[in-house]
Amino acid sequence: MAILECWKSVMATLEDAITHLTNGDWEAAHALVQSDSSTQACWAHAIVHLMEGDTGNAGYWYRRAGRTARGTSEIASEIEALTRALS
The number of residues in the chain equals: 87
Provide the pLDDT confidence category of residue 68 given band limits of 50, 70 and 90: very high
Q: Which residue did the predictor score with more confidence, 1 or 56?
A: 56
75-86 and 39-52 are packed helices; what angle lies between their axes, rounded to 10 degrees?
160
pTM of the predicted structure, to 2 decimals:
0.88
CA 86 to chain centre: 11
Q: Are 86 and 64 in contact (CB under 8 A)?
A: no
